[in-house]
Amino acid sequence: MCGLLAMLTTDGNGAEFVNAVESGLPCMRHRGPDAAGTWHDDKAVFGFNRLSIIDLAHSHQPLRWGPEENPERYAMTFNGEIYNYIELRAQLQSLGGYEFRTSGDSETIVVGFHHWGEKVVEHLRGMFAFVIWDTETDTMFAARDQFGIKPLYYATTDAGTVFASEKKSILEMAEPLGLDLTLDRRAVQHYVDLQYTPEPESLHAGIRRVESGCTVTLKPGGTVVSERYFKPTFEVRSVPKGSEQALFDRIAEVLDDSVAKHMRADVTVGSFLSGGIDSTAIAALAKKYNPDLLTFTTGFEREGYSEIDVAAESAEAIGAEHIVKVVSPEEYATAIPKIMWYLDDPVADPSLVPLYFVAETARKHVKVVLSGEGADELFGGYTIYKEPLSLAPFEKIPDPMLRGLRTLGQMLPDGMKGKSLLDRGTQPMEDRYYGNARNFTYEQLERVLPWAKPEWDHREVTAPIYQVSKELGMDPVARMQHLDLFTWMRGDILVKADKINMANSLELRVPFLDKEVFEVAQTIPHELKIANGTTKYALRKALEQIVPPHVLHRRKLGFPVPMRHWLAGEELFGWAQDTITESQTEDIFNKKEVLEMLKEHRDGVSDHSRRLWTVLCFMVWHGIFVEKRITPDIEERDYPVKL
């Protein structure tokens, strides 16, 4: 887990950009405080910050490797972990007799690239973003893991193309690159609409992201050519009656194997633990491979917004030592600027802040933690996935009557019983569902974003994804899961998982998001996802002998935040009012309307908490990266190499 920076120059003047690359490394030292290094030739420049996890004394980067006839043919920078690296090393030695010069996982990528070419990504089981420079063919090759666990930004100017783990590193190089720092208005609207900036966009017009599950190739002076290698689908199949248990057993088996491989490290591995089934399952399995497992959780003092007691009970049940961090409203408000800085682009998820503090706490004890992200998307865990069942009767209504019901629903006042059912039941899925980001109606969006364009609404992002699932004939639940894999999961869940933990130089591993686990999860029929009035039914059945009974059927909460109460009360109302007033975003937001929404929220007229939080996060981000008015307090921390 590290921070990479790589540049391919247009004019073969690599030496002239060494200082620029070196200037982009310090701002992401948190990603790799253990070591730093650079390398260059006349065309490429590589920089690296290392967080040492495997093969601590060796595996330094930028890494050079090549066959016997050209032992330094390739240069590589790599961020992530390859969990099947031991098996890959043995396979490559058997296939080609290749010599390995380290005992780490990084080298398996470049050796695999030499042997398999671009198809190396199909052999990797892990989380990764890497860049390889082939000095013989003058080709740069880069890739991201299947699900997008590890980030990879890039920017192309007349000077060349730069890849980086964090956008702020590219921003540090803006002047020598001649980078366009204009805000992308379309991306801004997408952010306000969705609460995150969807891939491949960033809020800066000149910087984009390599998409999850994609590779890119590039020649000096050429354009970035992207190709998708991972095309996830949820298969249409059924399980013969009486054979369900075999499926449940297979889920348990592959998940246990994933956790075992995710425990591979030369440092201590702990686990996050909330009150839900996902993190509890991961922690319970991890305990098998680390008898001294430490677990970590966070919460708030406000009743109903903490899973501390349930998590503590789970830790006791599995025999793990448990460590708790309680976050105060004062800590929450103080941390917001630094969190927006670490994120690169804002993500309006209130759980980012407690995650930051539990990661900070965990890093005092361990260097790696496991977590339960991805289980909902793969196994059908969101309550909204049950909606196709509740709306099924609408499918039998003739179109003319359906249009009439739609009109009736629009005439009913907000909050009236039945209005929401009519609104959603009379719309096609493509219009009503765009993940867990449902926040603004278009009318509400126009209220705060007066220049918003209808053609830039959420459907611009979701329509191509829906088209794929339609062509593949997925059932409604699978179509919702498929959409979430490409939107909410990689735009919110995985961004915060990477950025917030790396802010604390803590490696987060997510065993559910493993390609072997996905190969099993994609075969689960919808009737075994939302059976018996619950979600993740097949997963729950698979975990009956693994997870303590008190969490097996418990409703998911995660790290809930009392944002609605705080924005209406003394905890955050004053902070929010000052943030809006001081923000220099008049050309973006109708600040008068935003302040009116804050007043309506305080007075109990309407719950605007998520909408307000979305705008407030952007305003803080804008104050840091555009106005340069806000300077976050970013601590220079020193961590031991081995924990």
Tens-digit pLDDT profile for residues 23-41:
999 999 999 999 999 999 9
Kind plus residue range of the DSSP H or E element containing 50: strand 44-50
Judged against a pLDDT cut of 60, whether residue 578 lies above it is answered with yes
Residue by residue, DSSP assigns 600-629 as HHHTTS---HHHHHHHHHHHHHHHHHTS--
**Segment 453-466, tens digit of pLDDT:** 999 999 999 999 99
- Rounded CA gap, 469 and 482, in Å? 7
Judged against a pLDDT cut of 50, whether residue 321 lies above it is answered with yes
Q: Is 53 helix (H, G, I), strand (E, B) or coil?
A: coil
**CATH topology (fold) of 2-228:** Glutamine Phosphoribosylpyrophosphate, subunit 1, domain 1 (3.60.20)
- Rounded CA gap, 159 and 45, in Å? 12
Side chain identity at 419, as an amino acid letter? K
Residue 551: pLDDT band (50, 70, 90) is: confident
Residue written as token pair 């058997």: 94
As given in the structure block, the two tokens for residue 465 are: 């994804």
Residue 403: pLDDT band (50, 70, 90) is: confident
Judged against a pLDDT cut of 70, whether residue 556 lies above it is answered with no
Contact criterion met (CB below 8 Å) for 389 and 526? no
pLDDT value of position 48: 96
Q: Which of 563, 598, 574, 611 is nearest to 304 (CA)?
A: 563
- Rounded CA gap, 529 and 538, in Å? 6
Domains 2-228 and 244-381+487-552 share a fold: no
As given in the structure block, the two tokens for residue 414 are: 């907000």
- Whether 2 is a known active-site residue: answer yes
Judged against a pLDDT cut of 60, whether residue 640 lies above it is answered with no
Q: In this structure, how many other beta carbons lie within 10 angstroms of the beta carbon of residue 449?
A: 23
**Segment 365-394, tens digit of pLDDT:** 999 999 999 999 999 999 999 999 888 888
Q: How many residues does the chain have?
A: 643
Q: Which long-range contacts (CB under 8 A, 24 or more apart) does 402-411 make?
A: 402/426
Q: Strand pairing partners for 295?
A: 271, 322
- Rounded CA gap, 19 and 13, in Å? 12
Backbone angles phi, psi at 139, to 5 degrees: -130, 135
Q: Which of 146, 199, 232, 212 is nearest to 472 (CA)?
A: 232
- Rounded CA gap, 437 and 264, in Å? 35
Q: Please, what's the b/e burial string for 476-505 (b: 16 or more CB within 10 A of its CB; e: otherwise)?
A: bbbbbbbbbbbbbbbbbbbbbbbbbbbbbb
% of the chain exceeding 70 in pLDDT:
98
Residue 306: pLDDT band (50, 70, 90) is: confident
pLDDT value of position 555: 67
> What average pLDDT does this structure show over 157-174?
98
User: The pTM is what?
Assistant: 0.95
pLDDT value of position 420: 82
Which CATH superfamily is 244-381+487-552 part of? Answer: HUPs (3.40.50.620)
Least reliable range by pLDDT among 313-327, 469-483, 625-639: 625-639
**Can you give the residue ranges of every domain in the chain?**
2-228, 244-381+487-552, 383-435+456-474, 563-625
pLDDT value of position 639: 63
- Rounded CA gap, 613 and 194, in Å? 12
As given in the structure block, the two tokens for residue 235 are: 């298969």
Backbone angles phi, psi at 24, to 5 degrees: -90, -5
Q: Which of 606, 557, 19 is nearest to 273 (CA)?
A: 557
**Segment 522-535, tens digit of pLDDT:** 999 999 999 888 89
Judged against a pLDDT cut of 50, whether residue 641 lies above it is answered with no
pLDDT value of position 642: 46
